[in-house]
Structure 1
Amino acid sequence: MEKIQPSKKRKKKNIPYLGPNLLFYCYDCSLPIISSNTCPICDNKVNLVPLTPPYDVRPSTPYETSEIIELIKATFGNNTDIIQMDDVLLLNHTGSEDHMDEIIFYGKSIGTRRYDLTSNSWILKLNGYGLSLLNGKKINKWVMIDDGAIEYIIKGASVLIPGIIDADKNIKIGNYIAIIDKKHKVIAGGIARLDDTERKEKKKGVYAKTYQAADEYVQIHHTKRSWKDIVKWNEQELMRLEKKALFFIQKIIDDLELPVMVSYSGGKDSLVTLDLVKQALPDGNYDVLFVDTGIEFPETVNYVKESSRKLGFEDKLIIEQVSSKVFWDAFEKFGPPGRDFRHCCKFAKLAPIQRVIDKLYQGGQCVSFVGQRRYESFRRAITDIWQNQYIPNQINVSPIQNWNALMIWLYIYWKDLPYNPLYDTGYERIGCWVCPSSDMAQFKILENSHPKLYTKLRAAVEKWKEEKNLPNGFWEHGLWRFKQIPKKISNVLSLNLNDFKTTSKQNELSFMEIESSDCITNPVTVIGSFSSRINLDTVSSALIMVGKAQFNRKLNFIRVSSKKFAVILYHDGAFKIIFRKQDNLTKYGIQNAIENFIYTVLRAVECINCELCVGKCKLKAISISNNIIFVDKKKCTKCNLCAEACPIVTIVHRKVKETIKQTLKETKLQ
C-alpha cells in the first residue's frame, strides 16, 4: 500500500458570489424554509443548508427527479432505491463546464449530477453522505479492499491492485465506483483508472483514485411533505416577500411617473413579476409586452396567449411578432450567436422592444417591470434598476431582484399561477430555443422534445462548421456557443484553440497604419483597407454621420470632409484619412475620428435593418430602407451616439476599437 502523505491544503476556487444563501432547513420537521432561521412548525432555531454558490436552489420537477433516480440506477444498479418519486428534492445549479446540479435530499447534499461534454450524458458523483446511503443496498460498480487498506483509503490514498479482494467485472475506466470492505460497507467513493479486465492482467499499480470517504450511515426519519404543505408553512415569508415587492413597485411608479409596462417572456420570473404588478395596480393601468422573436418555443407562444386569458390581461397584452428570417439572416451573415457574441438578442428582441415602446408611448419613455434575479448571473446581480444602451426609452426595474428560484416557485404554487408547461419536461430556463446561453444538457432535451427544431439548428451549425473548416465536435461539445472558447471547456476537451480560428464572411478592417510627420498642414495620416470591396452606393448616405460626403461616381470614390480631417474611401476598400493642422489634436481625438469612420462603413455594408440606431437618434435623423442607412444631413449633428446602439459595432466588430487603440499606441506623434 502506498505511503500516506499529509493532506495538501486545497486552493480556494474563484466561486462566484451573486447573493446570500437563503435556504434553511428543519431536520426535525423535514421542512425547507426560505429566509427565516425559525421553524414555523416547532418554533426551534434552524441553520442554513450548506450549499455551493451561487445558491439559486429550486424544486426538482417530477421529470428531473425521475432522471436522477434513473441516473443512480445506471451508476450503481437497479436496487439502489435511495430516492423515491414522492420525496422532496431540491436542486442547486452550480458552476461547471456545462450544467451541474447539487442534489439536496431532505436538507442534505448527497452529491452532484453533471452533464459531461465528452460523452454528452449525465454523470453522478455522490459525496460522503450520498455514499453512506448506498449501505444495505445491492450495488454495482464496487471494489472490495482488504482490511489493511481501509485506514489509508479513508485518508484519501488510491486503491492499489494488491489491496483488492474482488471487484465488479463491469467497471470501466472513468466510472465512479463504491469502495467497500469485506462486510460490504461503503467506506469511500472512487474513480476507476482501469477497466476491471485490465486489473486481472496486472500485479500492481493504481486501480482507482479515491475522491471522498463515506460518512457513517445513520438512519434518519423523514416526514414526507407535499409542496402544498411546504408552501403553507412558508406562507408568512412569502407574504413578507410579496409586501416588500409591492411597496417597491408602487414607489417606483410614484417616483418615475411614467407609463407602466410588464416585459412578459413566458418564463417563471416574468410570471411572478406580472402577478405583483397586477396587485400593485388594481386599476389595470399597465401594458404587457411579449416579443415573439420568431425563434420562441411554440409552447411558449401558446402559453402566453392562454395565460393572458386565465389571468385576465388579454386586453393589455401586446404581442410583437418578429419574422424568424431576422434571426436566420443574421446567422447566415455573422454565424451562430454565442454567449460572448449575442447578436440574436439585439436584432430579434431589443430592436422590436424599442420600436413598440416608441410607437406605444409616442416617443416617450416607460418603466418596464422585468423578471430579473441577481442569482442568474454577475451582470444581473449588479442592480434592480437599469437602462439598456440599446433601448434608451425603457427604464427597467426588477421587483424580484433578490429572490432565488425556490422563492419564485413557492410563490407560483402559493398563488396557483399557471406556468409554462415546458418546465415539466426538463427545461430549467425558458427562452428562445436556439439560445446559446442554454446548456448542452438543454439541447439534449430539445433533441427529444422538438426533433425538427433541433435538426434545423444543428444543420445550420454544421454548415457553418464546414464553411469555416472547423474541427469535429463543434456541435456535439457546444463549441458553437462561443467566439472565444472558455478555458475550462478547452481544458476538459483538450482542445487546440488554434483549430477554431476562422476567416470571417463579413467585411473587416484588414490593414491600418498611422503615420506622423512634421508636416505643417497634415501632421497625421492614416492609410488602411477593408477586407472586401465596398459598394459606395450603400455607404454614401451613412458617411454623412462622419462629415460632408461627396460621391465621385466618375472616379469611383467618396470624399468625406470636416474641419479637422478629410477621408477618401475607394471602391476596392482602401481608404486614407488626413488630419489637418489644429491646436488641440490629441490621440483621443484621432482615435475617435478613425473609429467613427471605420464603424460607419461597417455599419452601412452589414446593416440588417434592425433599426436600433433609428430609435437611439433623438433628432430622428436616421432612416433605413432595404438595409441601406439614410441620414438627413440637416438633422444629423454627428454626435455618433447611434453607434452605441448598433450590434455591428458593439458585438460583431467590437475588437476593431482595440486594434485602432493599439495601432495608435505604437505610433509616435510629432
Structure 2
Amino acid sequence: MYWSHYSAKIYWDIERNIPVLRRTEKSIRIKCTPPSDVRPALGYDILFIRNLIRNYFKDPVDSDRFLPLDSRVILLNKIPYPDLAHEIIMDGHIIGHQFYDFSLRKWRFKPLYAGISKILDYRIGFYAVTSLTKLRRNFVVHRGDIVESSLPERKGEFVALTTKDDLYNALGVLIKKNRIRVLKSWRARKFPRPRRSGSMYEVIKANREFVLDDVEESTRFLKSISKKYVVDKRIILSFSGGKDSMATLLISKHAINDFYVLFNDTGIELPETLEYVAQVAREYNLRLVLASAYDKFFESLRVFGPPARDYRWCCKVIKLAPIAKVIKEKFGNSTVLSIVGQRRYESLARARSPRVWRNRWIPNVIVTSPILDWTALEVWIYLLMNKVRVNSLYLKGFDRLGCWLCPASELAELELVERNHPEMWNTWSEYLRKWSEERKLPKEWMNYGLWRWLSIPGDVRRLLDRKVLEGLERDDRGRGLVVSIEGRTPEILARVEVSKPIDTKALVEHLKPLGSVRIEGESIKVENEFGRVTFYKAPNLSIAVEYYHSYEDGIKLLENVLKALLRSLNCVLCEFCSIFCPNSAIKIHDNGISVNENLCTHCLKCLESCPVVEYLTILISGTRSP
C-alpha cells in the first residue's frame, strides 16, 4: 500500500475560506501530499510561519502582502524531507514549504504553487520573468534569459520564475550571480483571492455536525466491542498525554465510562506531559494505572548504547515490558480490552491496521482504536469545540509527543527539546559526546544527529562525504558475540571472543531453560534431547557441542547456548523473561535472574522475547557443515 493510493480527503469551502471535512457545493478538495493528515496552525505555529516568511522576503511590507495580518486559517501538512517539513496551506492552496535545512541547521521557507503565483502577480520578494517559452527541471536560467527580476544577493535563495507568456511557473534557486537553476516547474494557473479571511471559530461551527456524527459512530463501535470481548470490566485506555489519546478518552467516557487509564512513564517523558497526565486524572476522576520504567533507559545504555530508528531496543525495555508487567499483575491471563488513540494517517503501518487486533506480545490483550479513521484536523476540531485543555507542549511548537530523546524525532524536534529543557538535553548531549569520542566517530555523528540511525538512509547519505561515511563504520552498536566454529562429527567446536568477565552463577541460570546444567571443575555442562554442550572457560572461552542426531540440531543447540551466554553477559533486568514465562519459573533479583528447574518446561520463550537476543548480534564464522 502506498500513500498515493490512501489519503485523507480534506476540502476547502471557497466562500467561507475555511477547511471542511465533508464536501459541499462550494468546496474544492485540497491538493496536498498524501497522507494529507493536515492539522491547524495554532498560535505558536502562526507566529513561527510569519517570522519565517518575513526572513525570506526581507521586506515586512512584502511579507504582509504575502501573508495578510488577519485571522485566516492556515493548515500544516507534514511531508517527506531529510528532516521536519510541512506544506503551508492558506486559502485552500499550498503557498509553500517550511522545512528544517539539515545541512544549515535552520528553518527555511520555500514558496510554491499559489505562493509563487502571488509573488509574480504582486512582484514582491525574489522573482524573475524570463524570455523562455518553457521551464524544465534542472535547466539553468542565465542572465540573458531574464527580462525582469528582483534577485537575492546570496546564492541558495529561492526564486519565483515564469515564462514570457506566463504559461509556465517554476521554483528556482540562485546558484551564481544572475544564474538560477530550476528546481520544479508546472503549468501556470490563477488562484482565486478569497474576499474574506475565515477563522477557527467558523471552522468549528461548520464542521460540528460532521464531528458529532463520527463521535456517535465511535461511541456505538466501542459499546459493541466492549460487549463482545469484555467480562468483569477488564478495560484499559492507553493515555499518552497527546491529543489523540485525549479525544479517545472523551469518546470512551461517553461509551463505557468504567475503565482503567494506563500511562506508560518511560522515564524519559517531558515534565509538561507528566504534569498534564496528573491534571487530567484529577479533572476527570480517572482510575490511573502507572506502568513505570523508572531509570531503566539510562541503566540499559551501558549494554545497548544509544537507540536508533533501526535499533529501537528502548521500545521493548521501557514501553512494552512495564506495560505487560502491569497488565499481568492486574488481570493475569484474562482477556483485556485495550483502547488506544491510533489513527491510520499517522504511518503506513497504521494505515494497514484493522480497527480491532490482538496484541502481538500480549496475546490476551485485544486492542481497538475508535478514532482509526479520523484525521488530525478532526481531532483538533473535536477538542476545540469541547474546550478541552491540551498538553501545553502543543502551545510551544511540539506536534509529536512522547520520549523526549526518541531517535524517531527529527533534528528540528530535538532542538525544541533543547530550547525548552536545556539541562535535560545537555545531559543527553554529553553522553552522546563521550560515546562518540570513545569510538572516534566523525563530528557529524552528533552535529547532524546521525546517532538516530545505524544504517544511514539514502536522502541523508547524499548530504555526507565519503570520509564521514567511512568513519561511521566505527559505530559498534548492536555487536554482541564473535564466534568461530569448526564442524566435526559428531561434535562442533566454537571459540568465542568475550569482552566481559563471565559470571558463572549468572550463566548457569540463563542456561537452565535449555536443559539440565551442572558444573564440573572449571567447565559447565548442559544437556538436553538434542545433545550435550560443554563450556571451557580457560584460557579462552570455547564451547564443545556433541549432537545426538543431526548436524543441524547441533548448530541450533549451539545458537541457543550462545544466546544464553549473550543474555548472561548483558542482562538489563527488563523482566521480559519473567513476564512471558508461561509457568512463572523465572524470578528477577537485584543482581540477576533465577530459574526454578521444577517449573521450567524448556519452551524457550525467555530467549525468544529477550531484547538482548533481539538487538545484539552473534556473528558466527567458520565451517558450517560436518
Is the TM value for this pair above 0.5?
Answer: yes
Aligned to 1:620: 584
2: CA distance between counterparts of 1:514 and 1:161?
71
Distance 1:249 1:218, change over 3 A: closer
SS of the residue aligned with 2:603?
Answer: coil
SS of the residue aligned with 1:110?
Answer: strand
2: CA distance between counterparts of 1:636 and 1:93?
50
Query: In angstroms, what is the RMSD of aligned CA positions?
Result: 2.8
Aligned to 1:537: 505
Q: Deviation at 1:393?
A: 4.5
Aligned to 2:450: 479
Q: Is the 8 A contact 1:621 1:636 kept in 2?
A: yes
Q: Does 1:510 align with 2:470?
A: no
Aligned to 1:645: 609
Aligned to 2:79: 94
Q: 1:353 aligns with which of 320, 323, 333?
A: 323
1:277-426 matches, within 5 Å, as 277-282=252-257, 285-313=258-286, 316-323=287-294, 325-383=295-353, 384-426=355-397
1: CA distance between counterparts of 2:20 and 2:562?
56
Q: Deviation at 1:221?
A: 1.9
Q: Deviation at 1:421?
A: 1.0
Q: 1:500 aligns with which of 464, 472, 488?
A: 472
Q: Is the 8 A contact 1:623 1:629 kept in 2?
A: yes
Q: 2:568 aligns with which of 596, 601, 604?
A: 604
Q: Does 1:21 align with 2:4?
A: no
SS of the residue aligned with 1:338?
Answer: coil
Letter in 1 for 2:46: T
2: CA distance between counterparts of 1:24 and 1:222?
18
Q: Does 1:51 align with 2:36?
A: no
1:550-589 matches, within 5 Å, as 550-552=518-520, 554-555=521-522, 557-571=523-537, 574-582=541-549, 585=550, 587=552, 589=553
TM-score (norm 2): 0.91
Aligned to 1:80: 63
Q: Is the 8 A contact 1:114 1:123 kept in 2?
A: yes
Aligned-residue identity in percent: 29
1: CA distance between counterparts of 2:405 and 2:50?
29
Q: 1:263 aligns with which of 238, 251, 256?
A: 238
Letter in 2 for 1:596: N
Distance 1:243 1:494, change over 3 A: farther
Q: Deviation at 1:409?
A: 0.9
2: CA distance between counterparts of 1:210 and 1:75?
18
Distance 1:172 1:27, change over 3 A: same
TM-score (norm 1): 0.85
Which sections of structure 2, spanning at least 5 residues, go unmatched? none
SS of the residue aligned with 2:20?
Answer: strand
Distance 1:15 1:67, change over 3 A: farther
Aligned to 2:208: 235
Q: Is the 8 A contact 2:358 2:367 kept in 1?
A: yes
Q: Deviation at 1:185?
A: 13
Q: Is the 8 A contact 2:173 2:181 kept in 1?
A: yes
2: CA distance between counterparts of 1:133 and 1:328?
51
1: CA distance between counterparts of 2:124 and 2:519?
80
Q: Is the 8 A contact 2:16 2:198 kept in 1?
A: no
Letter in 2 for 1:616: F
Aligned to 1:8: none
Aligned to 1:128: 113
Q: Is the 8 A contact 2:134 2:163 kept in 1?
A: no
Q: Deviation at 1:302?
A: 0.7
2: CA distance between counterparts of 1:225 and 1:363?
53
2: CA distance between counterparts of 1:339 and 1:364?
33
Q: Deviation at 1:513?
A: 2.3
Q: Is the 8 A contact 2:72 2:197 kept in 1?
A: yes
Q: Is the 8 A contact 1:461 1:475 kept in 2?
A: yes
Higher alpha-carbon deviation: 408-417 or 220-229: 220-229
Q: Is the 8 A contact 2:492 2:554 kept in 1?
A: no
2: CA distance between counterparts of 1:306 and 1:506?
39
2: CA distance between counterparts of 1:516 and 1:426?
63
Aligned to 1:189: 171
Aligned to 1:11: none
Aligned residues: 616
Q: Deviation at 1:238?
A: 0.9
Q: Deviation at 1:620?
A: 0.1
Provide Cα deviations, 1:70-97, integer angstroms capped at 9, x if missing partner.
Answer: 2112112222222235220111111122
Letter in 2 for 1:468: R
Q: Is the 8 A contact 1:178 1:186 kept in 2?
A: no
Q: Is the 8 A contact 1:508 1:530 kept in 2?
A: no
2: CA distance between counterparts of 1:31 and 1:603?
57
Q: Does 1:629 align with 2:593?
A: yes
Distance 1:48 1:503, change over 3 A: closer
Letter in 1 for 2:141: V
Q: Does 1:30 align with 2:17?
A: yes
Q: 2:226 aligns with which of 231, 253, 256?
A: 253
Distance 1:388 1:604, change over 3 A: farther
Provide Cα deviations, 1:574-603, integer angstroms capped at 9, x if missing partner.
Answer: 332424332xx374x455433322212211
Q: Deviation at 1:362?
A: 4.0
1: CA distance between counterparts of 2:4 and 2:427?
37
Aligned to 1:4: none
Q: Is the 8 A contact 2:356 2:368 kept in 1?
A: yes
SS of the residue aligned with 1:475?
Answer: helix
Aligned to 1:171: 153
Provide Cα deviations, 1:313-341, integer angstroms capped at 9, x if missing partner.
Answer: 2xx11234442x31111223321111111
Distance 1:388 1:569, change over 3 A: farther
Letter in 2 for 1:370: V
Q: Deviation at 1:287?
A: 0.5
Q: Does 1:451 align with 2:422?
A: yes
SS of the residue aligned with 1:540?
Answer: helix
Q: 2:436 aligns with which of 458, 465, 485?
A: 465
Q: Deviation at 1:640?
A: 0.9
Q: Is the 8 A contact 1:567 1:576 kept in 2?
A: yes
Q: Deviation at 1:619?
A: 0.3
Provide Cα deviations, 1:580-638, integer angstroms capped at 9, x if missing partner.
Answer: 332xx374x45543332221221122111110111101100111212412111111111
SS of the residue aligned with 2:613?
Answer: helix
Provide Cα deviations, 1:519-560, integer angstroms capped at 9, x if missing partner.
Answer: xxx2x52423143242222211110011111123x32x2111
Q: Is the 8 A contact 2:38 2:77 kept in 1?
A: yes
Q: Is the 8 A contact 1:390 1:612 kept in 2?
A: no
